[in-house]
Structure 1
Amino acid sequence: MLDYPGQADRAVQLERSALFVPASRWPMIEKAARSPADAVIIDLEDAVAPSEKEQARANLVRALRDLDFGPRLRIYRMNSLDTPFAYRDLTEVVEVVGDRVDLILVPKVNSPDDLRFVARLLDQIELGRSQTRPIGLEAQIETANAFLYAREIAAATPRLEALIYGPGDYAAALRAPLASIGERDAHDELYPGHRWHAIMHTIVAAARANGLRCLDGPFAGLRAPEELERASRTARAMGFDGKQCIHPAQIAIVNRVFSPPPKEVAWAEAVMRAYAQAVAQGRGAFNLDGKMIDGANIRMAQIIVEQQRKIQARGE
């Protein structure tokens, strides 16, 4: 009997930073497993040439079987369902080390049926292995169809834990000029607003409506820490939980931006203390430092306190 995680558990899972590493590069996988990232994504898709797919799968199995990832989420990105590699990415990995996989990132999701197909195949493999802990899914929203069907995708399967923004492929799908993934360019300066606000806001809203996490996509500039921080702060302001990284040097900035600052933690803890007193006195909304606190504030404070608890459990 598969026991799917509840919505509250999925929403507060710590995933501030998710480090991509090519499955074809074994030394990089070893380093990623020891990195300060909250999650490691071993990539079978874009980072691996077609001629290296088979070896990449073998490296992935070896990594999941032999390496200690510590508290980091163990994720791998399969190839998209319109390729001849996708089903082998599932069967040849999950049938061998399925109990060591936390999440599978499904790229180029176009409809809820894509996720249902992957979920149904995983059902069969896990039943065959007598695996009781289900593997979760993350859906990469990076096509025009995914934008239009984001609400349905977010509700497709109880295996789904997160929606991920894929900025490069999304720009290509819209034929929108993009000089570098995640970075501002001349086209952004021309546009009267945030060029990607619509899809980013849609991802956050669809995720929150279904109790999911949501992550911003990667930032290609490896020598632009200020721009990385700006992009990360923009994503956090929009409600994202974290951001994908393509280099270990990006992790510290991303972890810091997506961690609640001390002032925020102090506020949340004060809210929870005052809330406990209000409940004991039979009150609902209450006043704290001259500001009215209601259910929305309490839910936000609960999330901050729980996130801080998990960060502290990591030794940070």
Structure 2
Amino acid sequence: MAPTLRPRRSALYLPGNNARALEKGKTLPADALIFDLEDAVGPDAKVESRTRVCQAISSGSYQPREVVVRVNGLGTEWHDDDLAAVAGSGAHGVLVPKVEKGEQVDALVSALDAHGAPESLRLWVMIETPRAFLRIEEIVSASARLAVLVIGTNDLVNDLHALHVPGRATVVPALSMAVLGARAEGKVILDGVFNAIADDDGFRAEARQGRQMGFDGKTLIHPSQIGPANEVFGPSQEELDDARRIISAYEEARAAGKSVATVDGRMIESLHVRDAERIVALADRIAELESVS
């Protein structure tokens, strides 16, 4: 069950107890919407919010966006009922916070199977504690149903007793470990949130850093961050043009019996072509989704 190639440039959290936000989500150009039953919802509103979110998803009104529900964590009184409800809601994914080891992934997959979740329902997990980063290889290799890792940078900084600083030097080693783990098992990985909603320049700088590190997209806390995230994590026209030149040059070289090609003075091998093909396929998928939004 390898993850299907699809854009996940922007994944916006929507509070599950806010009917207005859920309605607005139907018109937002985010690649993914994460309906939040955890941090955004107080204890007294957990059950009502679960019902509201599952009913909203079941309506099918959010297509073509990917729809995911962040449930309450393992061991909480709401977790089991959350999983059961999401399993039958028609959601594309279920996001579980504070997953720290492979056996928890196994247990989550078993629970989803027991609740009759379709194979199309992907497991997303949050990597946000020191133990989770140290066990990243164990977590990502636990199940094929696990498709997406979501980084929880706020929790990580807090647990490290570190500081939020521009450039995120305090957590870059951990972020790199997570990207390595995700790529080793072919998983998608999304960067953490940027807290300063009004700081557009700061958001763009952090998004560019995440893109440079290899993240597939970024989780968001406000609709104003969707456009910049889509821009930064989507292939630029320059990247797309370059990718097409690489593919074309390599095909011509192979037809001439050569194993390498040259594009703009650069040697091109099969590994460059694979990445170029990925970029073109992603751009095509983005265009397809945006044409029906």
Q: Report the TM-score, using the length of structure 2 for normalisation.
A: 0.94
Between the aligned partners of 2:201 and 2:264, the Cα distance in structure 1 is 35
Report the Cα distance in structure 2 between the residues aligned to 1:45 and 1:286, rounded to whole angstroms.
51
Please state if 1:293 is matched with 2:268.
yes
1:82, distance to aligned residue in structure 2 (A): 2.7
Q: Does 1:226 align with 2:201?
A: yes
Q: CA deviation at 1:204?
A: 0.9
Please list every run of 5 or more consecutive structure 2 residues that lacks an aligned counterpart in the other structure: none
Residues 167-210 of structure 1 show CA distances to partners (whole Å, capped at 9, x for unaligned) of: 111112222244xxxxx36xx7xxxx822111111111111111
2:104 corresponds, among 114, 127, 132, to 114
Q: Does residue 254 of the first structure (1) align with residue 222 of the second (2)?
A: no
2:113 and 2:65 map into 1 onto residues whose CA distance is 24
State the SS of the aligned residue for 1:211.
Answer: coil
- Name 1:163's counterpart in structure 2: 149
2:173 aligns with one of 182, 198, 201: 198
The answer to whether the 8 Å contact 2:14/2:35 transfers is yes
Q: Report the equivalent of 1:39.
A: 32
Instruction: Note the C-alpha offset of 1:283.
Output: 2.9
Which aligned pairs between 1:1-316 and structure 2 lie closer than 5 A?
A: 4=1, 6=2, 9=4, 12-94=5-87, 96-97=88-89, 100-126=90-116, 131=118, 133-178=119-164, 184=165, 194-315=169-290
Classify the secondary structure of the residue corresponding to 1:45. Answer: coil
Q: 3-state SS of the aligned residue for 1:48? A: coil
2:226 is paired with a residue whose SS is helix
If the length of structure 1 is used for normalisation, what is the TM-score? 0.88
Structure 1, gaps ≥5 residues long: 179-183
Runs of 4+ in 1 over 4 A off after TM superposition: none
1:288 deviation in Å? 2.1
Q: Measure how far apart 1:67 and its partner are.
A: 4.5
Counterpart contact for 1:278–1:284, Cα < 8 Å? yes
Number of aligned residues: 291
What is the aligned-residue RMSD (CA, Å)?
1.6
Q: Retained in 2: the 8 A contact 1:40–1:74? A: yes
**Could you tell me how far apart the structure 1 residues matched to 2:226 and 2:75 are?**
32
State how far apart, in whole Å, the 1-side matches of 2:191 and 2:278 are: 19
Q: Distance in 2 between matches of 1:210 and 1:262?
A: 29
Q: Matched residue of 2:69: which SS?
A: strand
The question of whether the paired residues in 2 share the 8 Å contact of 1:126 and 1:134 is answered with no
Note closer, same or farther for the CA distance 1:289–1:177 as it changes in structure 2 (3 Å cut).
closer
CA distance in 1, matches of 2:270, 2:151: 29
| Deviation for aligned residue 1:242 | 0.5
Aligned counterpart, 1:181: none
Q: Is the 8 A contact 1:33 1:40 kept in 2?
A: no
CA contact (8 A) 2:190 2:217 kept: yes
Question: What displacement does 1:228 show?
Answer: 0.4
Whole-angstrom CA distance in 1 between matches of 2:271 and 2:290: 29
How far apart, CA to CA, are the structure 1 residues paired with 2:274 and 2:170? 30
After TM superposition, give the deviation of residue 274 of structure 1 in Å.
1.8
